[in-house]
Structure 1
Amino acid sequence: MKNRILFSIFLTMFSFVFTVSAKQEKYTKHTVAKGETINMIAQKYKVTPYDIYSLNPDSQNGIQLNSVLLIPASASVVVIHSSQNATQTSNPNSHLVQPKETLYSISKQYGVTIDALKAANGDLLNNGLKIGQNIKIPTSGSGQNVAASKPVETPKVVAPVVSKPAVVKAAPKVEAPKGETTYHIIEPKETKYGISKKYGMTIPELERLNPAIVNDFPIGFKLVVSGNVVNQAVLETPKPAVETPKPVAETATAETTSTKKYLEEYVVKPKETIATIANDYGISEQELISLNPELKRGIKLGMILRVPKGQRKEPVKKEQGNLLKTINTNARKQLALLLPFNISKIESDTINSTQARLKKDKFLNLTLDFYSGALMAIDSAKVLGMNVDIKILDSQETKNSSNVATLVQQNNLQSMDAIVGPFYQSNVEKLAELLEPTKTPVISPLSKESGKKYTNLYQSMPSAELLRSSIFDFMKAKSGNIIAVVDNKKGSVKQYIQEMQPNVRIAGLSPKGTFVADSLKVLFQKDKLNYVVLASESTGMILATTSAMLAAQKEYQVQLVILEQNDTFDFEEISLTRLTKLKLLYPSLSRPNETDEANQFDAKYKKINKIIPNQYAIRGFDVTFDTLLRLSQDKTFEETIQVSPSEQIENKFDYVQNATYGYSNNGIYILYYDTDLTIKEAL
């Protein structure tokens, strides 16, 4: 579906009354020019179409050339409330207490001291600060200077557990770990040399404790280290004399004896995967495989694995679809959407008109599509009686910059119960970092990247790595015979299969890198379903491989598999019939939905926007509505994440807590092309 929604997404979607907080006391008259739309006019004056429709009700049926519209005063920030009864105070000498605010944050906001606030409010604050209180704000000169007030305590940095303090010497002796195991998470730009020096180890010792890093050094990997954090003074001393390497047999024995103290055995249960077990024990998949090399050949029911002792998290039973049944409309919550409209950039563009910019600015169109879906979610929330105040803010972002810091400061985002956005990973991470002290949930709506990790960051898009592992887990659970045909140009895929899916056999290619039918057929098994994972963007290789599979269907059960979206399969040369005969299987972030609810959503969206919703509009609805549902519960946002997955129009949200940081979404669909020319979910 083409991504081509213009400013028609700014059309009012509020079947309920919203209060816009910006004052609108002055009006401007605008004469409609040729080719203008309500959306373009709203953008020009920095208002929403809803504002224009409120003053010009007849314009909802269309606008005519040379007709005159009343335009309200512009406002750069739109604050939407779900009730007209929201109390606002314009008195600069008072303040309405918001959720998560403290005396300290209010004192900083108004430049006064905490003691001055208490003195100005008498007995009102005797029982502490309460949401909804209207407190007096003394003048900035009252009481002592703000700088003299008690500062926020800096979180203490907990040093790694060390069983025995390291002794600083000119030539320190490296000690093996004693007592409790100490871990170190590999950060970006770190090296084996730097980490080994930090903990008073040699690189060979570090590798002996962590065999998985001998040929790899992935960011985020949890290392077992000596536990002896070396003082900086040590790093400046001459290098110790090179030690005589110990015999391999002696090293292995010492390592086994040391490691056994911290391991226990675990028996693999039905439907469990490497990923789920690793997550249950708070370790990475690579770490679990390093403890159990036999996992390189795949995981099987009843296998006995070595796992960290006492680290298993108690599984939490999640109930699908219970969020709609438990909506709590009593407590008012606050949600902010930070979307990259980049209005200032549009205003300063003297070369392109707004209409011309919309035709070629794909990122702006994506943003507007997402926004249109979010507004539909807000409309649905009102129909269901959810009690949520919503701020929609312009994040003014590019891949390398944004104004999130300013927005946090100017809009008191610390008080939000959740925030959706920004779009770019670096910017959403910056926001999460700023709001981590208040544990404000920050939902990344579109990014599949991963970088810095924060405890309050929720990645709503499943990662590419998870997509890959999920399809392999599915095939293994079906006890299939997995074969891969990998184009020479797909080196990263081949490396992934060799390292992470070593039980998968790779079919050989000709010296020229072309497909050889016989090399595939000899790997087929008659007693199993033969999955053929095809990684290529070459039309010729795709046609050759699928032709060989179609020919083999007389003798074998075969199914075609791809690991990610491949536009080459849409080419006319590769017919849909060919793919349905082979029941093309693939992992997906979204699903086709032909239910009555989905059809009603499409119809309503088309009625408002004059076009059917694309993937970004549906994504905007799904992410926003899932967030609104979680806020409208009698639990905290984080608690709903831990017990309740949800499934919206096309996307699933099944968040899991990562080993050392935040949450990621495991909501992935395994889909296939059926012979009736439909796409279905594989079970």
Structure 2
Amino acid sequence: MGKYFTFILLLLFGSKFSLAQQNYIDHTIKKGESVYMISRRYGVSVNAIFNLNPGSENVIYAGRTLRIPKTDNTTTTPTNAVINDTIVRNYIVRRGETKFGLSRRFGVSINLLEEQNPHIVSMLQEGHTINLDISSEIAQPKATKGQHIVVKGETLWGISRQYGISLAQLEAANANRLSEFLQIGQSLVIPDKASEITVEGAYIVQRGDTKFQLAKRFNMTIAELEEKNPHIVTMLMAGHRLNIDATDSNQTEDIVDIDQATNNDLDSTSTIDSTNTVTKYKNYVIEPKETLFGLAKKAGMTIDELTTLNPKLLTSVNAGDIIKMPVGVSGTTINTIPKPEVETTDSTKTQDVVDSNTVESTIPTSSHRNNALFANLAIENSSGIYFYTPFSSEELISPKERQKMISINSDFQKYIDFFQGAQIAIDSAKALHLNFDVTLIKKNIAKSKIAIESPHNKNAILVPFSDSSSTFPQIQSNAPISIVDIESDIISNDSINIYRSITPETIQKTKTLNYLAKQNGNVVVISDLDEARNKDLILNILPEATFLQVDNAGFFKSDNLNEVLDKTKHNFIVFDSKKTIVLLNTTTALMGKLSDHKIQLVMLESSLLPKQTEVSNMRFRILQLIYPSMTDPQNQNDILKFENQYEELYGIKPTRHATLGFDVTFDTLLRISQNTSFEDTINTILSEQPHLKFDYQKTNDKTYLNTGMYLMQYNSNEGMIELKE
């Protein structure tokens, strides 16, 4: 009996050992590889590799073997597929996989993936078979005359500058080649500097073009333009190639009366002059420092008339842009778009944390927004500001150390961005002669308490992006201290106040609904076939609201819209869907009802606003869209000042995390530099930094929540206004 028992144990042990052998695969480390790179290739976590390979968290060596734990991806690979360091054969694409994900898994570029699998160039689909020779490399193509090969870090703007052509010319010449992003190795056509944006028998749609303008430009009706170009019926987009009868874009044009045009062009405005006069226009090049007001005055028009003629002026007035002006207006007029005289920055510049002595301050110019804070700065007092971070000061200062940490966990990049924005805030505060010390507290989950010995009477700890409230330690301090939470949702275990600095989306939605409740209007909620995303919240504040669903294409059933609209009341249409096509068709239907109903569009979340390239802002102006915003769209001076300063220092545009770093740090520094306590400033002073408004409200004994936001409304003519909640 004992022999049988021993035999069974040996069988069990052997089967377990065999299973254990099958739960990982061997990977031979190549020169230049890191554990992070290997983990991304196989779709496993870095910690899973560390656990299976003790010592790999410290160093790995080329030529040695790492054990890689198998994941669902490896266990579900078809049995006839072969995947190793040099070959991928008969790999079947699964649902949800992307070219980017496959390129990272197999350790190749998307270019190589597409070159060896041309059937996926247009679209990767479930069931496609992938075959790769990983060891082969795409030979770097050599550009011929009139051609440019895209390399890492290049942008369309930079390429246009390199060849001395306009961005519009470059985009027009490559309308059929461009997608959302440039690809490394992509071939671009470089047009001649004097080339027109039009080609024989065709026209490339530019940003700001509308169907009404193009129809008039090429002497046809909108219906004729759509008949010749059915791809623009649903939406006209920059880059579309149009079939036209004539290309007289260089000639003086006649704009005739609106009675001869159709009203179906939803990208045109409803304020076009309908007199029977014929006015001649010519191309005009905007000169440096010209303003919308000055251009309107020069044209002898109102701003509304000028922007109706040139819708792109609703977005911005840019030196070098071409607009239409009445014949007789003096100024530079040319037939091709000129090269703007703008300096560019190197996008590959090292993202170092810069010494504060070398940086020009970025103090918000709209100081009236913060008069109460600026007027009572106590520069004779000193204070302390602490950052709770995964980096030590040495790691944060060293680009090599920062990159090492990012290679282990890419999520650390948002901390880098945050601290680069915070650095500019620190420099700006120094320029105001504020007296403070900066200290970094490195996260250590083994510690349950942190003792702070501060020589200052007022102190603040900034806690950005802490991943778990349970790991935040108890703070013991010999001096008054406040904790500023930046998307961390930490819980204080002691008597220290916590100030949550980022307004949650729930507050934005609630404030918008409360505004609608005060208007005593008819509220209709539009959603797609899915249940309205915010139904419970809406009914809690607006119990009389009506809910109306559209199909997946965004169309209403017959007479459904008429049934919910009220001719005797102001109709607030709350759009509650993430689908752009639903927004397009919904707004089209609503604009068709404006003659009989008073209608206003509402969105409860700024994240629902699509890109302007997807949906024209003119729709929102016509329907006077109301929406909540974390940022004041009217405060462009301060926003651009910060963005320019950041790009000058770091060679890239600031991310959202960088803007949080500046706004929260600068606001905190101003508040701890007052004669009163930090809590007193929170209770009495509302402040506005370039991107965020800080309006703190107490939620319990030791917690304050920032409820600051902007409730904005598009004007029918120009700009926006802020609504009072």
Could you state the TM-score of these two structures normalised by the residue count of structure 1? 0.47
Highest relative contact order (Cα 8 Å, sep 6+), 1 or 2? Answer: 1
